[in-house]
Structure 1
C-alpha cells in the first residue's frame, strides 16, 4: 500500500516527476504551432505580448505558490477560494476549471489523431482520438506514479526539442549553418519595423497568448501527491521566471529573427516548422509533427489528471457526489478519473457527431476561464494573507510588493476581460463563459442550501432520538 497524504491520495510522485512537470508543463502545442498566429498578427512585437503575459503568469504563480506552500491541496486555488472568498467562489471556479480541462480532451485528442491520420490515412481520425484517450486513461487509472512517469518523458522530449531548436536557430542567425535562408537578425526590424501593425495588434496578440500559458498551475495540484509538496512548490514557483524566459521568449525571439512576420506560410505551417524550413532543416514538417504529437499527448495526459483531481477535491468538500472521493489501494481516485474520462469521451464523440456550431459554442464557454482562474487566485491571495498571518502560519513563499502588485494584477485581468468583451471576435467567449459561471454560481447556492437543510435534518433527528 502506498503512502497517502491527508486527503487520502498517494504520494507516489517523485522529485524528478514534479521537477520536469514544472519545467515543461507549460509547453504545449500552442508554442510550437499557435505562436505563428501571434507573430503574424503583431509582427516581431509579439515578443512584447509574450513578455507582458509571461510576467502576469509569473506573478499569479507567485501568489498561488504563497498559498500552496502554506496548505498544499489537490484542489489548489479552488480550495483557497473557498476559504478566502466564500463557498460559492471555490465551488464555481472548481467546476469551471474541471469543465475547461474536460473540453481540452477532445481538442488535444483530435490534434493528435489528425497527425496520426496523416501518417496512416487508412485509419479514421475518430479511431485514433478514442484510442489515444483510452491509453492515457489507463495510465491515470493505475497510479499517480504512472501519470508522473509518462509526463516525465513527455516533458523531457519537449525540453530537448526546444533546446535543439534554440541552438540551431541561434547558429543560423549568426551564420554558422550552411545553406540557410537566414541573414542575421535584420528581420526583427524589416518589413515595417519591430511593431508593424501598431500597439493594438500587440494587445490583440496578448489575448491569444494568454491561453497558451494555461497549465502552469498544474504543478501545485500535482505537488500535493509528492513526498515533500512544500519544497516542490517553492522550486516550481521560483523556476517559472527562467522557464518562461527561455522557452517562450527565447523561442519567439529566434523565430521572429528567422521568419518574416508577413510570411504567407507562417500561420498555416506554425512558427517552429517554418523557421526550420528557412534554416534548411530536412524533413522539418515530420520532425515538428512528432514534437507536436508528444506535446498534445502530454496536454491530454495532464487534462485527464487535472480534471480528476479537481473533481476529487470538490467531492471531498461536499461539492460533488460523495462517491467520487473514493480511492483504491494505490491511492488513486478511480471514481473521479472514470467520471472525468466519461465526460472526456463524450466530448470527443461530440466533436465528431455534433454540428460544428454546437461544439464551437461549448468551446466558447471555456474561452475566458483561464482569466477567471487567474483573477480568483489573485483575490484569494489578497484575502488569504491576512488569514495566514492571523493564525500565525509560516509563509514559506511571499508575494512581492504585497498588496500593490496583487491589486495591479487584479486590475490588469479585469482590463483584459473588458477588452475581450469589446472585441467582436472574442465577445461571444466572454459572454458564454460569464453565462456558464452564473449558472454554476446558482448551482453553488442551491448546493449550499441543500447541505444546510440536510445538516439541520440530521441534527433534528439526533435530538429527537436522544430524548
Structure 2
C-alpha cells in the first residue's frame, strides 16, 4: 500500500491565474485549436505509409482500435482533469492516487519522451528547410528552429498558444481539404474524374492481405502517433476556465480521431493500391500526385513542416510544464518550479530545450548508437502513461465520489468495467510488442529506462521516510520527556 495521503481535490477559482503561479494566458480559441490539432502529429503525414504497408487496407482497423483506446484513456483523464485541473495532469494524479513513486516515475518518463521528440522534430524541420535553402547547413536550421520556439515559449503562455493556434489551424485545414478532394475523386468527381470506388479496398489481396495479425502490427506502428492528445489537459491549467476547456476537449475527441485519422487514411487506401511504392514512401503526396495536383510535393512539405513545428512547439511546452510540476512536488530541482515575469517556468523550459540540444547533437554524431537508444527507450512511454492514467482514475474516482461528487462533470463510461477493459487492451498491446520482433527491442529498452527511473523514485521515497522518522523521533521524545531511540525501518 502507498504511504501517501489519499487523492486530494483542490479548490480552484473559475477564473484568474493558476494558484501555482502560472498565468492563465491561454484563450478559448487557443485551447480549442490545441485540442483539435493535438491529435494530428507529424507521424500521421510521414509515418502512416509504414502502417499501410504492414496491414494493407486493414490499417483502418488498426487506427480504429488505437483511436478507441485513446478515446477511453482521454475520457478517464478528462474525468480527473475536470474535477481537479492542475499543472502536471496525470503525473500529479498518479502522485496523489498511487504514490509518490508513481508520479515521479511517469512524470520523468513523460518529460524524457518529449525531450527526445524535440530533437526528432528539430532534425525533421531542418531537413525540409535545408532542401529549400541548401546554403544554410542542417545543424544551423535545427538550432535556429529550436531557439525561435524556445523564445516564444519564454515570452508568455499566450505566445505559445498563438503560435500553436496557427500551426494547428494549418494542419486542420489541410487535412479537411485533403479529405474533401479525395472523396470527390473516389466518386469520380473533379479533380479526379475517374471513380475508383472501393475496389482498392479489396482488389489487391483482400482487405487483410497480410492476415488478421497485421492489424496488431499496424497498431504498433500507429499507436505512438496519437501521443499528444493529453496535452490539452496540461494546457487547461493555464486557462481562465479549465473545467470547461477539458470538458469540450474530451467530448470532441471521438470525432477528431474519426475525421482526421480514419477519414484521411480511408481516402488513401480507397484511391491507391495499398502496396504501391509511392504510398509506402509518402502516402499523402502519392494521392495528390495521382490527382495531378500541381506542386504536390511542395504542398506536403509545407504541411509536414507545419506539423513538425507544431509538435516541436507543443513538445517544449509539455516537457517544461511537466518539469515545473515535478519541481513543485520536490521531485525535480526547486528552480524548475519558479516562473518569470511572463508567468512561465523559464528554468524548466531551458532545462528541457538543453536536453533537446544534446539529443540533436547525438543525432548528428552518433545517430545509430546513442540517438537510436534514446528513440527506442522512449518509444513505449505512451503505453506506460495510458496505464498510469487508468489506475489513477480507478482510485481517484472513488475518492471524488465520496468527498465531492459535484466535481464529476465528466464521467468515465461504465466505470469501473470499461476502465479494466482498457487496462487489459493496453497490456495486450504491451505483450504483443514483446512478441513482435520489430517491437521487442523498443519495449525492452523502454522497460529498462522505466525500471531505472522507478528505482530512483523508490530510493528517494525511502530516504524521505527515513528522514521523516529521524526528525519526528526527537520531537516525540521531547514531548514525552524521554530520550529518543531511533529504530530501523
Q: Which TM-score applies when normalising by structure 1?
A: 0.96
2:268 aligns with 255
Q: Determine whether 1:435 maps to 2:448.
A: yes
In the aligned structure 1, how far is the partner of 2:191 from the partner of 2:167?
31
Partner of 1:365: 377
Give the number of aligned pairs. 465
Aligned to 2:390: 378
**1:244 matches 2:257:** yes
What SS is found at the alignment partner of 1:191?
A: coil
Equivalent residue, structure 2, for 1:171:
184
* CA distance in structure 1 between the partners assigned to 2:395 and 2:201 by the alignment: 43
Match of 2:66 in 1: 53
Is the aligned partner of 1:320 residue 2:349?
Answer: no
Counterpart for residue 187 of structure 1: 200
| 2:147 aligned residue | 134
Contact 1:108/1:296, CA 8 A, preserved across alignment: yes
Tell me how large the CA RMSD over aligned residues is: 1.8
| Cα distance in 1, alignment partners of residues 471 and 338 from structure 2 | 23
Superposed, 1:46-445 pairs within 5 Å as 46-178=59-191, 183-268=196-281, 270-394=282-406, 395-445=408-458
Deviation of residue 117 (structure 1)? 0.8
Instruction: Report deviation, 1:86.
Output: 1.3
**Cα displacement (A) at 1:460:** 6.9
Which deviates more from structure 2 when the two are superposed, residues 235-244 or residues 259-268?
Answer: 259-268
Give me the TM-score of the superposition, normalised by structure 2.
0.92
SS of aligned partner of 1:46: helix
**Which residue matches 2:8?**
none
* SS at 2:212 equivalent: helix
Give unpaired runs (5+ residues) of structure 2.
1-14, 482-489
1:345, 1:74 → 2: CA distance? 25
CA distance in 1, matches of 2:92, 2:311: 23
SS in 2 for 1:360: helix
Q: How far does the alpha carbon of each residue in 1:264-321 deviate from its partner, in whole angstroms, 9 at most, with x for none?
A: 12122x2111111111111100000000000000000011000000000011111111
C-alpha distance in 2 between matches for 1:254 and 1:204: 21
Change (3 A) 1:287 1:333: same
Cα distance, 1:178–1:365 mapped onto 2, change above 3 Å = closer
Secondary structure of the equivalent of 1:282? coil
- What is the alpha-carbon distance in structure 2 between the residues aligned to residue 459 and residue 297 of structure 1? 51
Q: CA deviation at 1:259?
A: 1.4
Moved over 2 A (4+): 178-185, 449-467
| Cα distance per residue 1:205-249 (max 9 Å; x no partner) | 011111110000000000010000000000000000000011111
